[in-house]
Amino acid sequence: MIIPSDTSRRRFLATALSSTLGVGLGAAALTACGSDDQPTGEAATGGTKPPDTPAQPAGGHGPEVEPPVANGNDALKRLMDGNQRFVANQAVHDDEGAERRVAVSKAQHPFATVLGCVDSRVPVELVFDRGLGDLVVVRSAGEVLDHSIIGSLEFGVAELQTPLLMVLGHQRCGAIDATIKALDSKEAEEEGEIGYLVGALAPAVRQVAGKPGDRLANAVHANVDLVLAQLRKSTVLGPLEKAGKVRLVGAYYELDTGKVIVN
Ligand SMILES: [Zn+2]
């Protein structure tokens, strides 16, 4: 399936980004975007497919190449399986070694795009027990969007064809906590571009005013929903979601437990 509009823009994107991001974006990649044709395991490894080995405990896949995910549901399951291993302290780190590095050195076929916070306690690959070539990760404080963040997410979904886009908020988010404090105080505005973050996060904080429960947690959830709503307005992401080619999900990471809870 080809996105009905903006083909030329996407070709421009492909050309401009392929050199900087190390991906081969030919016409095939563009026209195959969102199609049912998924890259094969062989293509995903640049032609090197190690022999199959028995499945690893706790959902790890060992040195063998995983099959491509069929859809967003598959991708979400793969993420959540990894999170379960992380929570249970049974992370397998399958995709972090030299073998994996070589396998993905010529091409990448990540299975999910994740927008998370910059918080040092929420490193996305670690909390999902994934590694090289698995995820397109974009991070900004409080998952605040701007042109480059949205463009990067569009790149992950439309060009790298990840069938899942997750917006991952988290417990005790400092950016949202700072926004609450800024809105509550009568002090001068934040300096530099931190004020931009506060302005972007303020609608979520205002939305939960007076609601029962933990104010910060409520605001984090509201912010994830607002970010998702904004992403659905993207002329790239919106049509792909409507066509069933990408699944957009919100999620919440608990610092206390390591659990990712999908909304
Ligand atoms: Zn945060």
Distance CA 169, CA 71 (A): 23
| CA 212 to ligand 1 center in whole angstroms | 22
pLDDT of residue 33: 35
pLDDT of residue 216: 98
Domains, the chain, with CATH or none: 7-262 (3.40.1050.10)
pLDDT of residue 38: 41
pLDDT of residue 62: 61
Dig out the tokens for 100 from the structure: 């994996």
Would you call 20 exposed, middle or buried from its count of C-beta atoms within 10 A (0-12, 13-18, 19+)? exposed
pLDDT of residue 66: 82
The one-character DSSP state at 104 is T
Contacts of 195 (CB under 8 A, 6+ apart): 189
| CA 217 to ligand 1 center in whole angstroms | 11
| CA 225 to ligand 1 center in whole angstroms | 15
| CA 107 to ligand 1 center in whole angstroms | 31
| CA 65 to ligand 1 center in whole angstroms | 33
Q: Which amino acid is at 64?
A: E
| CA 129 to ligand 1 center in whole angstroms | 20
pLDDT of residue 190: 72
Q: Which residues surround the ion ligand 1 when the cut-off is CB under 5 Å?
A: 117, 119, 173, 175
Mean pLDDT of residues grouped by 10 in the chain (263 residues)?
Answer: 43 45 41 38 40 48 76 98 98 93 95 98 98 97 98 98 98 97 81 91 97 98 98 98 98 98 96
Rg (CA), the chain: 19
| CA 170 to ligand 1 center in whole angstroms | 6
Alpha-carbon torsion 260, 114, 132, 49, what sign?
A: positive
Helix (H) or strand (E) holding 7: helix 7-21
pLDDT of residue 37: 39
| CA 253 to ligand 1 center in whole angstroms | 10
| CA 139 to ligand 1 center in whole angstroms | 10
pLDDT of residue 204: 98
pLDDT of residue 60: 66
| CA 169 to ligand 1 center in whole angstroms | 7
